[in-house]
Amino acid sequence: MDSPARFIDPRTLLEKINTARELVGAALQRRCDLLTASRLLQTDGVQLLVGQFKEIFHDGKLDLSIHESSNEGQNPGQKSLTSLPSPFRLRLLFGTSLVQLDGMLKALDLSGHPHLERLPVAELLAIKSLERLEFCGCPRVVSALLQTDDGVKDLVALLQKVKLTTTIFVDGKLDLSKDGRLMKSADAHDVRKLVDLFHTPLFIMALTQLDGMLTALDLSGHPHLERLPVAGFLAIKSLERLECKNCPRLYFPPPEIARLGGEQTILYLKLADPKNGGQANTAIELIFIGRGESGKTSVKDALMKGKAEKIAEDNRTVGIVLDEWNLAKEASGLTFRIKDLAGQAVYGLTNQFFLVLRAIFVLVWRVLPNMATEQATFEKDISDMVSTWMDSIQLRVPGSTVIVVATHIDCATKDAVDLQCKWVKALVETKLQQFGKDELVTGILALRVLGMGESCRVCCLDGTGVTLLRRQLIELAHSLPWWQESIPPSFLELQNQILERKTRRPWLSWAEYAKIASECDLEGIRLEIATRFLHDNATLKFFGKYGKGPVRVDAGAFQLRFKSDESRDDWGWRVVVWPAEKGSALLSFDEAAHTSRAIVLESAHPYADDCDETHTIRIPGATALWVAFDERSRTEEGFHTVTLVKMNRSEEEGREEEEEEEKEEDVQESRTWGKKSYSGTDYECWPHAAAELLDCVYIGKV
């Protein structure tokens, strides 16, 4: 099948195949049809496919796909790829034959052909009637498209063809995820090649050419993806969602933001854009960990003052000590936000809450004065401490940066210190080897330990080794990927507000917190993103559920759709909608209902069976709205749903469309405000007015 077989008489071939079909069972007839179609594509008789093979060409779709099946007897129309005979291996597709089907061919499915080398792109583009192209599970095609500039240009050309949906570009969404349809059956080399492609000028230029068509981009699941070309993505004005979840090496956009979803990610990038006032981050967490009385607080004091005084037993660290070390003049604006964690076992669980990714962990251990008599105790204690802390950090914040520090070096001879440091380094190397093996299997990043666990040796009382440690910490901070990352200014403003309040009391009610955030211009989804960002950076801790506050609609109108299939006397819902003015998100339901221009809408009580109603809610002059439900709202979860549907611009302005489109059975999440839908009998199932929320935000120790 590697060259056109024009000498084959199509009708003779057809007769032979039909004869063969009569001699085999249903399980082999699909193979015969595929063989016929592939042969006809090499002849001038390709139009014989039309009407002759309904399983191959039906309703404008040419189906040459081969699907995997675990049991061929249950589905005779499918064939396992692993045992596909050589004659059925489609290697080349002759576009000149396909062009003859222009006007009839609307969809072409080539999925499941692992030996297909390439696509006849020029000919496919010439077929004006072609509206859909599938090539899922064709790894060689993917490789050909990704390996060369010409291949990438071909891919972009296919994406840009008017109304042509492909394996990866459907309804405005471009799916380049690792587990998406494009990369199905692709090998690791091609997956890595795709990640490398993301940063090439050709790829960025190609995406910008899709502006106006591209609304969502999915890059999830790539184990080698570290940073996205943000400036190029933000140049695509039509891009509304950027999915990049489950990328273990990703550091920008921040992984905690990526986990929230595509809409939140693209919004964060816009807010953090330097063109919109995004500010370079110069603050890094410095977290001191280790056993009690190992010298953590003394190391902190020595770093900040040059030397440390001996700490009395009554002044041992209790819980956590917060401090700030400003090195702006000598280290390009660097500020270390210090967390000195108590090392006693009783604090083991609470310490986990303060382990964050944007940090340097200082793992402190104490040199033993008399190694000879206490070696067994020393080895057990140090081994337990190193293993516990390294496992905790790897579990909570994999890929973090650690530096090991040995204290009290003046209490032992140089040889004893050398021996103990060598033994600790061996412990660390063993753990790193284990993490490295796990990384190969799981893709989860291993810890980065300076010098593979070589201890920085200090005596805090006289300052020995402190200058070196200071220099190493500054160099480490400047090497972190988060150093000078761009952060939304409103997030930094809220962070500063929280830091100022840490000394007053350890918590805020949600209403208090939301009011502070509102003064920083953070409400609705912006507040959700900021809270997650500050939570993961340990500026605050919030364990409530996001999305319980009022839903922000960034438009002056939307449609509320309610669907049900039965009714009960105690079921119903009530909603209030009011203009989103500064500070207005903090109202109670009743307060919101009495604001100027507010709209209150409720279902019948009980509502009707098989209800399917749509209400257009519009507040003239408003550019954004808040939506909150009465705390007594109740429906059958998952079946009786309320959906807040986005409207196009003409609908928002109240103009009638020339043709009314039929209602969709299921509204896509990208077309809704808030969640895809709301339902249920529990309080937490619905978004409520902020003043009625009972959650608290922990902001730190007094």
Q: Are residues 567 and 466 in the same domain?
A: no
Percent of the chain, pLDDT > 70? 80
Question: What is the gyration radius of the CA atoms in the chain, in angstroms?
Answer: 32
- Cα distance between residue 477 and residue 459, in whole Å: 23
135, 158, 176: which is the final residue of a domain? Answer: 135
Give the 3-state secondary structure percentages of the chain, helix then strand then coil, rounded to 5.
40, 20, 45
- Cα→Cα distances 639→1, 612, 632, 655, Å: 52, 12, 18, 32
pLDDT tens figures, 174-212: 888 888 877 776 777 778 878 887 888 877 887 888 888
DSSP lists the bridge partners of residue 576 as 600, 628
Q: Report the amino acid identity of residue 6.
A: R
Q: Buried b vs exposed e over 546-567: b needs ≥16 C-beta within 10 Å?
A: ebbbbbbbebbbbbbbbbbeeb
Average pLDDT over residues 98-110: 85
Q: Are 466 and 558 contained in the same domain?
A: no
Cα distances from 255 to residues 100, 225, 235, 264, in angstroms, run: 50, 11, 22, 12
Question: For residue 129, which of 110, 111, 107 has the smallest C-alpha distance?
Answer: 107
Both 455 and 559 in one domain: the answer is no
For residues 450 and 370, state if they share a domain. Answer: yes
DSSP string, 512-557: HHHHHHHHTT--THHHHHHHHHHHHTTS-B--S-TT-SPEEESSSE
Confidence of residue 267 (pLDDT cuts 50, 70, 90): very high
Q: How far apart are CA 697 and CA 226, in angstroms?
A: 31
Peptide bond into 369 cis (omega under 30): no
Could you tell me which residues come within 8 angstroms of residue 503 by beta carbon, excluding any fewer than 6 positions away? Answer: 702
pLDDT reading at 46 higher than 80: no
Confidence of residue 637 (pLDDT cuts 50, 70, 90): confident
Domain coverage including residue 634: 551-654+670-686
- How far is residue 403's CA from residue 448's CA, in Å, rounded to a whole number? 9
Task: Over range 543-566, report the average pLDDT.
Answer: 82
Are 89 and 1 within 8 A, CB to CB? yes
> Is 188 contained in some domain?
no
Residue 218 lies in a domain: no
Q: Is 196 part of a structural domain of the chain?
A: no
**Angstrom distance (rounded) from CA 570 to CA 117:** 62
Give the span between the Cα atoms of 409 and 564, in whole angstroms: 73
Least confident of 29-38, 316-325, 487-496, 500-509: 29-38
Adjacency order of strands within the sheet including 612-618: 612-618, 557-563, 641-645
| Cα atoms in the 13 Å half-sphere on the side-chain side of 119 | 30
Q: Tokens representing 477?
A: 């901070």
Judgement on whether residues 454 and 600 belong to the same structural domain of the protein:
no
Asked if residues 447 and 396 have their Cβ atoms less than 8 Å apart, the reply is no
pLDDT tens digit string along 593-633?
Answer: 888 899 999 988 777 777 889 999 999 988 889 999 988 88
Backbone angles phi, psi at 268, to 5 degrees: -60, -45
Residue 364, pLDDT score: 95
Is the per-residue pLDDT at 660 higher than 50? no
Q: Are residues 323 and 458 in the same domain?
A: yes
C-alpha–C-alpha distance, residues 223 and 356, integer Å: 21
Q: Which residue do the tokens 């808040």 mark? A: 626
On whether both 310 and 390 belong to a single domain, the answer is yes
- Domain contains 536: no
- The pLDDT confidence band at residue 26, using thresholds 50, 70 and 90, is low
Cα separation values, 467 from 460, 464, 637, Å: 11, 8, 62
When divided into structural domains, the chain yields a total of 3
The tokens describing 75, both together, are 């589905």
Q: Which amino acid is at 613?
A: E
Cβ atoms < 10 Å from Cβ of 342: 21
Reported as a single tens digit per residue, the pLDDT across 273-328 is 999 999 999 999 999 998 888 889 999 999 999 888 887 665 666 668 888 999 98
- Residue 679 is assigned to a structural domain of this protein: yes
- 562 and 473 inside one domain: no
From CA 683, how far away is CA 560, in angstroms rounded? 20
| Cα Dmax for the chain | 101
Strand 107-109 to strand 132-134: parallel, antiparallel, or no bridges (unpaired)? parallel
pLDDT tens profile 272-287: 999 999 999 999 999 9
Q: Which residue has the tokens 């969640």?
A: 675
Lookup: tokens for 47: 């139009």
Provide the pLDDT for residue 7: 45
Give mean pLDDT, residues 631-649: 87
**Does 622 reside within a domain?**
yes
Provide the token pair at 239. Answer: 């891009």
| Nearest CA among 109, 165, 161 for reference residue 138 | 109
Q: How far is CA 62 from CA 123, 134, 338, 363, 470, in A?
A: 15, 10, 64, 64, 68
From residue 85, alpha-carbon distances to 3, 80, 89, 654 in Å are 19, 10, 7, 60
Specify the range with the lowest mean pLDDT, choosing from 30-39, 59-68, 81-90, 449-458: 81-90
Residues 47 and 127 both lie in one domain: yes
pLDDT attached to residue 80: 38
Give the closest residue to 407 by CA, choosing from 290, 288, 315, 294. 294
Structure tokens at 249: 């090496």
More confident residue, 7 or 196: 196
Each residue's pLDDT tens digit, 344-363: 766 767 778 788 888 999 99
Residues 6+ apart with CB under 8 A from 98: 41, 46, 62, 105, 108, 120, 123, 124, 127
What is residue 75's predicted lDDT score, i.e. its pLDDT? 36
Q: Is residue 341 part of a domain?
A: yes
Which CATH number goes with the domain that contains 340?
3.40.50.300
Q: Are 359 and 401 spatial neighbours (Cβ–Cβ below 8 Å)?
A: yes
Would you say how long the chain is, in residues? Answer: 702
Which token pair is 400? 């973090």
Better-scored residue on pLDDT, 386 or 543: 386
Tell me, what amino acid is at 535?
A: H
In angstroms, the CA 143 to CA 165 distance is 20
Give the pLDDT of residue 428. Answer: 95
Alpha helices in 465-509 (DSSP H): 466-479, 489-501
Average pLDDT for residues 246-264, to the nearest whole number? Answer: 90
Asked if the model's pLDDT at residue 690 lies above 50, the reply is yes
| Residue 91 within any structural domain of the chain | yes
pTM of the model: 0.75
Task: Give 2's pLDDT tier (boundaries 50, 70, 90).
Answer: very low
Pair 334, 457 in one domain = yes
